[in-house]
Structure 1
Amino acid sequence: MDVADATTVGWAAPGTYLHRLTEAARDELRAMAPRRRAEPGDVLIHQGALEHHVILLHGGISKVTALTSDGAEALLAIRVGGDLVGEMSALNDRPRSATVTACTPLAYSVIRRPHLQTFLARHPAAALALAGMVADRLRWANQFRVEFTAYPAKVRVARVLVKMALAYGRRTPAGLEIGFELTQSELASLCGAAEVTVQKALRDFRHDGAIVTGYRTVTVTNLDTLRKAADLHGAL
């Protein structure tokens, strides 16, 4: 199923919180609060806000960003249907550490912390799944820091493109189109590279026939070639 088709059908991508739950727990959590809709650019969570609910994404794609000490916006992660966001403030009673913004039309629900706590007490396996999700996100962040220092910028750009194409790609006659608008500055932020470096890497990948680019879109046309550039050939 294409991510772009997920807004109205309650799709849960592998690795998301909903995907980790039993069918009964998944249905209960989905029915816990009324669904809302957001359009691209709508902010679901504001960095620094003193609030403690979580947001369950039923479909669509959102991005997680944070302001750095020099005022720049850093892209931290992409979240899709089935993901839970805002869990850190719900767990540790601290202000929001990041902003969550809709990248595509999406469906979501707001789950208040007392309701989440009751749900987790009633479903111990769901509490373990939440802990596992938080651990996986921490592991991803640690891996990102390792790759930031261990690999050249061009390799990091290729790795991010491979991961996003496999996780969020929409199959088209040309290849896997990353299913949301992604600016070069956002891609640079996610890769930990300068924007001019990302521009050069994309130009090289286009020349090698690995990708084609359009206005804020990237389509992976040769996944094997991009995997080789990412030093991932045969690893995925």
Structure 2
Amino acid sequence: MRSESTITETLQQEVLVAAIDPTHRDHAPRPPSTDEVPGKEISHIANCSNCPMRQFCMGDNLDDSETVRLASVIHNWRMVRRGDALYRDGDTFHSLYPLRSGAFKTVVTNQNGCEQVSGFYFTGDTLGLDGICTSRHGCNAIALEDSAVCVIPFRLLEALCREMPSLQRHLHRMLSSEIVRGSGVMLLLASLCADRRVASFLLDISTRQHSRGYSRRELSLRMTRQDIGSYLGIKLETVSRTLSRFQGDGLIRVQGRTVTLLDPDTLDCI
């Protein structure tokens, strides 16, 4: 087992290298962009002490010294413009990306080349967990709006987990939540009608939003209706008709991409 001093020396070396070569901070390949110019995208030093989302990426059971040690491996945070990819299917896995602000969708491509939205991620969620299994990412992570992510090199996080059981438990909880989420999506697609799929989707967004301190009733849907349909396994037109019907029944109010839940209890019984 590596000693605490050994891990500290490793972190110090990483920070030194990062200071000399800023590109070393995040080894994950960046997708090419037609409007990208040198220096246009800037990585910022992460400051975990004043981040309201730190309990989601760090956990809420770390003491002060453990929080400082974990913060030392979060080298920076970076902006990802709307429509750009944080990583793509097949990219080598290097880091986890807690979402400081904004929203992402993950997209998978089947053997026939058809794309399907496999998940939506919001402030406080962590992207990149899919790469742990094979050391390569298995989907495209696309920003739904201008977003900011922290960069946590996974090999340094692993080293800390060996010394900090509370951090390791938090990582296990994140992995378990991904399994539970995947099982829930499978159930949603396998056994529910279109109305129930849309209702469950809205209620899930409500629950996730509320857990992060936002409104339970007023939902800001950054994804398109087509994205929702792809995720739920139904057509775009079906999503639009279902939302219109829910609004006509007085269950929701739709204003552009803002959906207000007027009667969540009835929506839950559909």
Task: Give the TM-score category using the shorter length.
Answer: 0.7 to 0.9
Q: How does 1:1-236 map to 2 (within 5 A)?
A: 10-12=51-53, 16-19=56-59, 21-24=61-64, 25-32=66-73, 33-89=75-131, 91-168=132-209, 171=215, 176-229=217-270
The superposition leaves residues 120-173 of structure 1 with CA deviations (integer Å, 9 ceiling, x where unpaired) of: 2221221222122212211221122123222212101100011112322654xx
Cα offset for 1:113?
Answer: 2.7
Q: 1:217 to 1:66 in 2, by over 3 A?
A: farther
Moved more, 40-49 or 51-60: 51-60
Quote the sequence identity (%): 21
Q: 1:227 to 1:26 in 2, by over 3 A?
A: farther
Cα offset for 1:26?
Answer: 4.5
Structure number with bigger Rg: 2
Cα offset for 1:205?
Answer: 0.4
Cα offset for 1:82?
Answer: 3.0
Q: 1:51 to 1:201 in 2, by over 3 A?
A: same
**TM-score in terms of structure 1 length:** 0.79
Q: CA RMSD in A?
A: 2.6
Cα offset for 1:88?
Answer: 3.3
Q: d(CA) in 2 for partners of 1:23 and 1:58?
A: 21
Contact preservation (8 Å) 2:58, 2:170: no
Cα offset for 1:222?
Answer: 2.6
Q: 1:140 to 1:221 in 2, by over 3 A?
A: same
Secondary structure at 1:35 match in 2: strand
Counterpart in the other structure of 1:6: none
Contact preservation (8 Å) 2:102, 2:148: yes
Structure having greater relative contact order (Cα 8 Å, sep ≥ 6)? 1
Q: d(CA) in 1 for partners of 2:82 and 2:248?
A: 31
Unaligned runs of 5+ in 2: 1-49
Return the letter of the residue paired with 1:36: R
Secondary structure at 1:178 match in 2: strand
Q: 1:47 to 1:214 in 2, by over 3 A?
A: farther
The superposition leaves residues 58-112 of structure 1 with CA deviations (integer Å, 9 ceiling, x where unpaired) of: 23322222223333332222223333221232x3343211122222333222222
Secondary structure at 2:76 match in 1: coil
